[in-house]
Every structure is written in C-alpha cells, then in structure tokens.
Amino acid sequence: MGRFRLTTRLGLRARITLAFAIGALLLSTLLAATTWALTRENLLNQREDSATVVVYENARIVQQRAPNEDSLATLGALSRPLGGRPIIFDGDEYVGLTPEFGQDALPRALRDTVVVGQPARMRYELRGEMHLAIGIPIASAEVAYFEVVSLNDLEDTLEALGVSLIGASLVTALAGAALGWWASRRALRPLTGVSTAAMALATGRLDTRMEAGEDPDLRPIAASFNDMAQALQDRIERDARFASDVSHELRSPLMTLAASIEVMENQREDMPERAQAALDLMVGDIDRFQQLVEDLLEISRFDAGVVHLQLEEVHLAELVMQAVHHASDADIPVELDAELAGVVVQADKRRIVRVITNLLDNAAKYGGGADRVSLRQVGDGVEIAVEDHGEGVPEEDREMVFERFNRGSAAGRRGSSDGVGLGLALVAEHVNLHGGRVWVEGRRDGEVGARFVIELPVEEHG
Amino acid sequence: MSTRILAVEDDERIRKAVKLALEDEGWAVTEAATGEDALLHFQQQPADVVLIDIMLPGIDGFEVCRSIRRTSDVPIVMVTARDDTHDVVAGLEAGADDYLTKPFAPKELSARIRALLRRARTSEVSSPHLRFGDLEIVPEEGVVRRNGRDVHLTKTEFRVLVELAQSPGRVFSREVLLERIWGYGYFGDGRLVDVHVRRLRTKVEADPANPRHVVTVRGLGYKLQV
C-alpha cells in the first residue's frame, strides 16, 4: 500500500513563512549594509575635502607669517570653521594650541611623509575617537602645517544611521514573514477545501465533490480528488448492493426452510425416532443459520456505511432491565444507580437491545452465564457492565475478542461450537455507532471472571 | 367458515411453505404470485387477512396495499426483506397494519395474524358514546364522526383512537399501545405506533401538523387531549 509523506518536521505554512522572513532579512541586511558603507564613504570624503580646503587656506597664512612670527601667534590667527586643531612643525618641534594636540596627536607615518616634503592626509584613531589629520609641508618657510579634525560627530551620525538601518531590516524581515504567512495561507486555502471534502467523505457523505474553480494549478487536484471520490462511491455502493443482494438471496431459501421445518415439527410425533433426532438437529441449525445470516447482513451494512441510527427517546434503565429479562431464562440481577432511574436518552432501541442480548449470550456461552448486570453513571455517560464467573479473558485477547469470527483462545480450547463469533464484533459496531465504547476487563470484586463494559454518552432529556 | 388468508408472494417455494404452515394453524390460504393476481383474487373473494411481500414483479407490494385500502379495512401484514426504515415506514404509510422481516418463523406470523383478528373483534366491545370537541366516537358502531361527518378509519386506526379515548388525558407510552393493540411486548417497533398515529391524525385532525386531539407527549408517548 502506498503511503505518501506529506509533511516534514515543520509545517508547510511555517516553512514558507520562515523562508520569506529569512529572504527578507538577507535582502534588507545587504541593502542596509551597502547603504551604510556608501553613506559613510560619502560623508567622510565630503568632510575630508572641506577640511583640505580649510587646511590649504591656513597653510597659506602660515607660509606668509611663519618666517616673521612666533608659531603660537600664527596658530592663533588661523580660522577654524571645522574645529580643527592646528599644529606647526618649525623644523625642531611641533607647536600646538594645547598640549594634547602636539606631536603626539599626529600619527608617525603622516609626520614622516610630510616632513620629507609630501602633503598627506590620514584617518586614524586618537584617544578612542576617529580623527583626520592633514599635513602640508611649506618648503619656502621650512615648516610644515598640520591640522587634526575630529570626525566624531560623523561617527555619531553614522551610528544613528546604522541603528535605523538595522531597525528597518528587522521590520522588513517581519513584513516578509507576514507576507509569507499570508501567501502560504492563500496558497494553501485550496488544500483546506481538500481536507474539508476528504473529511466529509470519511464521515460517509459519499457524494462530496470538490469545486474545480478557475485556477489552472488546482484543477488537476480537484479532478483527481473527484475521481477518487467517485471510485470510492461506486465501490461502496457496489458493496452495499451486494449486501442487499445477499440479503435477498439468502433470506428466501431460509424462509422456505424455516416454514417447512415448522410444518415438519407439527408432525414430529408421527415420525420415527431417528427422523425426530434429525429434525431436532435441523431445527437447531436453522436457528443458528438464521442468526448467522442476520449477523452477516448486519455487519456488511456497517461495512457498506449504510447504517443509520434510528434514534428515539428511551428510558435507559427500563430498556436494560427489559432486555436482560427478555434475553435470559435465569433471573440475572440488574443493579442500578438511583439517579439513573428516570433518565431518558436518545438511542436506537433495537441496537441497544442487541448489544445487551449479545453480551448475555457471550457470557452464557463462554462465561458460564452472566451473574450480574450493572448500570451506573460515569461522568457524562452511562456505563453498562455484564459480569460472569467464567475464566475471564486473558489480557492479550482483550482487543481481539471484539474482532469478527474470533472467540478468543479460551473459547477455542473449550471447543465450543455455539455462536458464530460475530456477536461481540456487532456489539462493538453498535456501540461505536452510538458514540460509545466497549471493552472487557477482569471482575472488580477480585473474583475470577470477565467484565464486559459498554460506555454510552448521554444527553439527558429530563 | 374458516379464516381466509390471501398470501401474496412471488417466490413459489416460500409461498408453498408458508401456505403449509398456515394451513397447519387451521386457516384457509389463497395464493397469489403477482400484485395483479392478488387484486383479482381479493375482488372475487375478500380475505380476512392479507399477507403481502413488498418485492413483487409488476405492481409492487406498496401499490397492492394501497389498492386494497381504497375499498377495504382488512388487516394487512407486510413482509419486507430488510427492516430498514424506508421499507417499513413506506409499508405502514401504504396502509399495512403490521410488518414482518424475512426470514420469519411461521409461528410469529400466526401470532401476528391472531392479534390482528382479535383486535378487529374486540373493537366491537361496547363503550359509552365519546365526544371530544368536533370529534365523536361511537365504539359500538365502530364509527367516528368529525363535525357530524363519518370519518373512515382502518380497524387498527380505530383501535388506537378508542384505546386513547377510553382514558382521555392519560399518556400512553408506545410500549403500552404496542402491547394492547398489536400484542407485542416491550420490544415491538415504535414506528408502528408513530405511523398509525400519523395516519389517524390526517383523518381526525383539522390540521394534522398541529394536532388538537391526538397529541404527542415528548419522551413519554401519546394522549387524547380532553
């Protein structure tokens, strides 16, 4: 039998959503990183260019003044629109306006380059902050002019930009996830239709079909689903027809046999002894045959799914007592919870009677006869238990006894020829149809014997 | 003159076997293999009880039942192959008084027939003249009048009405009615009662959908409203 794997560990919808989220996150991160890098480069270049212009201007002033003036005075005369720290190298030492911005504030590589007569600029970190240093050698005055510009404000700007870009990426990823969720829901909506239809089919509405709709991608699914449903319906209807055909075919000869044997029974006294014995055997087996045919038909109707509950309002306690009384020659005591005395339930009377009759028959055949039937309220339901004093049902057979034509290993050992092994299977079917369950356990009072229990859900009606 | 039973059954072997069994009970049996045959026989010589198999070639059992009902209130027993609701209710709606599911024991059939025959006779036991609004029941004459006009009831419908009318206001459960009218115990089919009450209502109620005389008591049964 083919079994097609439809799911992995994560649901289809979760996977689509996740893929969308990851995709969105990757894309937006890439975009953010590029944006950030470009912006940073742009801002820095801009700042460097404007700083360079200012520094050249100042260098010209230094060139004019240096030969005549004290370096410190020259420094004081310079304009500093960008807040740069000017430093003059007069051939011996570096003179700055403040002690922090002297020789040590300039990177060595820059100093070396400028001192040998090469203008240079350099970005570097000074005391934990980004700075730009520009140095211009002034050959005519035999000095060099340096300026250190803080880039920290740019760093702040870039940091703020970075934070907003990360935020934007996360929002984009979330939006991606939302889009994925929505898209997967849209994409999977037709599958919801499939599952609803399949469910309807499974609960017996065999004429369930899917609407093909306009979507060219979904039409094949709908078409194959409908083909399957049709095949299933045909098959089940064929089975149901077969059951009804068998019903008619078997019932007619049985009818003739039953009527003829009754006529013979009326003449029984006039028969020789041997013929009487044969007749008695026939009478017994006609009954058995009749029961077998009826059980088979009943169970084939379950298989064909053509079984319907015929619900009516039933006094449950009265029904059980009547059924027990009707089914047993010996008086089997029925124990009853007081609050159940007046309970009226919606039930199929015939089926409940069959269930109790079959359980009592079973107890009679394999448990030496039922010796107690009890009825009690459990939660939302009613529990009906039939107890016997037989050998009980071994643990490993407790599921199996409700299967068809299975009388359990104990029954096999006893070699009983009574019964056809459909009784308990029918009990299970009838009880399931009522939405209840059935099982067998050991007796609760510690004695040896079986306790067959059915539990029926109860909707009270007064 | 012995009781005459008309047995309509297309399966020759079943028909013969049933005839033998019923004759053992002391009844005279007329056989009919088709619906047409059955109607012809019934015209020529009305029976006391009619036994009809639903599955017949030509006109089916339901139709035979309806045709007989047009002219006669003779007790009719339907024989169905299955006890599914459709066949049973359709048979009862067509006018059958009771039904049996194949294969049945002839003893069971005899018991049913006896119950139907007994019922037809006991309904003539005298009771006082009863009146409920526009409804008038005269059990001795087997007559029911609504607004002074005769209402035609089958014997079973009449019996249901009289049973309820003898204790007006008392609620009768399906089981009690099954026992008193059909002779079934607790396990009779409640649909017999339901369909007969429905049929009865179409005849004695001004508005069968909102009955004023024969009313349902939810969860309990039926009663005749005083």
Region B41-59 average pLDDT = 92
Question: pLDDT-derived band of residue B131, with 50, 70 and 90 as boundaries?
Answer: confident
CA distances from A203 to A212, A224, A307 (A): 22, 20, 12
Cross-chain Cβ contact B190/A244 below 8 Å: no
Inter-CA distances, A200 with A196, A208, A235, A305, A433, Å = 6, 7, 17, 13, 17
Q: Do A251 and B190 touch (CB under 8 A)?
A: no
Residue in chain B nearest A461 by alpha carbon? B219
Q: Under an 8 A CB cutoff, do A263 and B104 touch?
A: no
- B contact test, residue of A241, A251, A255, A357 with most B CBs within 10 A: A255
Bridge-partner residues for A244, per DSSP? none
- Does residue A451 register a pLDDT over 80? yes
Q: What is the mean pLDDT of chain B?
A: 87
User: How confident is the model over A176-182, as a mean pLDDT?
Assistant: 90
Residue A270: pLDDT over 90: yes
Element (H, E) at B28: strand B28-32
Residue A438 pLDDT greater than 60, yes or no:
yes
Residue whose pair of structure tokens reads 């009313």 in the numeric block: B215
ipTM over 0.85: no
As to burial, measured by CB atoms within 10 angstroms (0-12 exposed, 13-18 middle, 19+ buried), residue A448 is exposed
The answer to whether residue B190 scores a pLDDT higher than 60 is: yes
Region for residue A128 given its phi and psi (left: phi exceeds 0; alpha: psi -120 to 50; beta: otherwise): left
A158-162, A248-252, A357-361: range with lowest mean pLDDT: A248-252
A112: pLDDT strictly greater than 90: no
| Three-state DSSP state, B25 | coil
Chain A residues touching residue B17 (CB < 8 angstroms): 255-260, 263
Confidence at residue B123, expressed as pLDDT on a 0 to 100 scale: 47
- When mean pLDDT is compared across A102-111, A197-206, B75-84, B116-125, the lowest value belongs to B116-125
The predicted structure's pLDDT at residue B82: 67
Cis check for the bond before A253: say yes or no (omega within 30 of 0). Answer: no
pLDDT digits (tens, 9 = 90+) for A27-56: 999 999 999 999 988 988 888 888 888 888
Q: Which two tokens stand for residue A414?
A: 């006893």
Mean pLDDT of B2-27: 93
- What single letter denotes the amino acid at residue B51? L
DSSP string across B155-203 = HHHHHHHHHHHHSTT--B-HHHHIIIII---TTS-HHHHHHHHHHHHHH
On the question of pLDDT at A419 being above 80, the answer is no
**Which of A:313-332 have CB within 8 Å of B?**
313, 318, 322, 326
Residues of A in contact with B103 (CB under 8 A): 251-252, 254-255, 257-258, 290, 293
**In the predicted structure, residue B126 carries a pLDDT above the cut 70:** no
Give the number of A-B residue pairs with CB atoms closer than 8 Å.
79
Tens digit of pLDDT for each residue in A281-331?
Answer: 999 899 888 888 888 888 877 876 667 888 888 888 888 988 898 887 778
Residue B124 is given by DSSP the state T
User: Mapped to the 3 state alphabet, what secondary structure does chain A carry?
Assistant: CCCCCCCCCCCHHHHHHHHHHHHHHHHHHHHHHHHHHHHHHHHHHHHHHHHHHHHHHHHHHHHHHCCCCCHHHHHHHCCCCCCCEEEEECCCCEEECCCCCCHHHCCHHHHHHHHCCCCEEEEEEECCEEEEEEEEEECCCCEEEEEEEECHHHHHHHHHHHHHHHHHHHHHHHHHHHHHHHHHHHHHHHHHHHHHHHHHHHCCCCCCCCCCCCCCCCHHHHHHHHHHHHHHHHHHHHHHHHHHHHHHHHHHHHHHHHHHHHHHHHCHHHCCHHHHHHHHHHHHHHHHHHHHHHHHHHHHHHHHCCCCCCCEEEEHHHHHHHHHHHHCCCCCCEEECHHHCCCEEEECHHHHHHHHHHHHHHHHHHCCCEEEEEEEEECCEEEEEEEECCCCCCHHHCCHHHCCCCCHHHHHHHCCCCCCCCHHHHHHHHHHHCCCEEEEEECCCCCCCEEEEEEEECCCCC
- The reported pTM is 0.62
Asked whether residue A149 carries a pLDDT value surpassing 80, the answer given is yes
State the best of B104, B193, B217 to mutate against chain A, taking most chain A CBs within 10 Å. Answer: B104
Residues 6+ apart with CB under 8 A from A202: none
- Does residue B47 carry a pLDDT above 90? yes
Whether B105 and A308 lie within 8 Å, measured CB to CB = no
A295: its two tokens: 């059980």
Angle at A214 between CA A212 and CA A218, to 5 degrees: 55
Per-residue model confidence as pLDDT tens digits over A320-370: 988 898 887 778 888 888 888 778 888 888 899 999 999 998 888 888 888
What is the C-alpha separation between A53 and A75, in angstroms, rounded? 17
Determine the pLDDT at residue A283: 92
**Are residues A135 and A119 in contact, defined by beta-carbon separation less than 8 angstroms?**
yes
pLDDT of A386 = 93
CA A159, distance to chain mean position in Å, is: 44
Residue with tokens 């104990």: A410
Percent with pLDDT over 70 in chain A = 92
C-alpha distance from A361 to closest chain B C-alpha (Å): 18
pLDDT digits (tens, 9 = 90+) for B172-188: 998 899 988 888 877 88
Facing residue for A255 by CB, picked from B20, B102, B187: B102
Among B21, B85, B107, select the one facing A310 at the smallest CB separation. B85
* pLDDT of B1 above 70: no
Pairing relation of β-strands B98-101 and B76-80?
A: parallel
Look at residues A363, A340, A379, A342 and name the one whose alpha carbon lies nearest to residue A424: A363
